[in-house]
Amino acid sequence: MLRETAMRLRVSGTAMVFARPKGELQAAFIQSAFIKQLGEEHFFQTHAQALEYTWQRLGDGHAEICALRVVVPDVEQVS
């Protein structure tokens, strides 16, 4: 179902991105070749990286006006 949704989104020009997928989910993505099909460029180690990628794709200065621009540090980066 997720694979079908990702392909429908791609056809419509919308990108699906993932930030920090947890162990079992990451393993399922690898085993099912979902990462390979969607493209490794859609998977990120941090939420900030995923948002930056998305803002770049949106273009037109969207990063400056986006309501999601509030920076929330990743727990891993704070320690």
Domain ranges of the chain: 2-78
Distance CA 6, CA 66 (A): 23
Distance of CA 30 to the CA centre of its chain: 16
Is the pTM here over 0.75, yes or no? no
Output phi, psi for 60, to 5 deg. 50, 35
Q: Please say if the pLDDT value at position 60 is more than 60.
A: yes
Distance CA 63, CA 55 (A): 5
**pLDDT score at 63:** 65
Q: How far apart are the first and last CA of the chain?
A: 37
**pLDDT score at 55:** 82
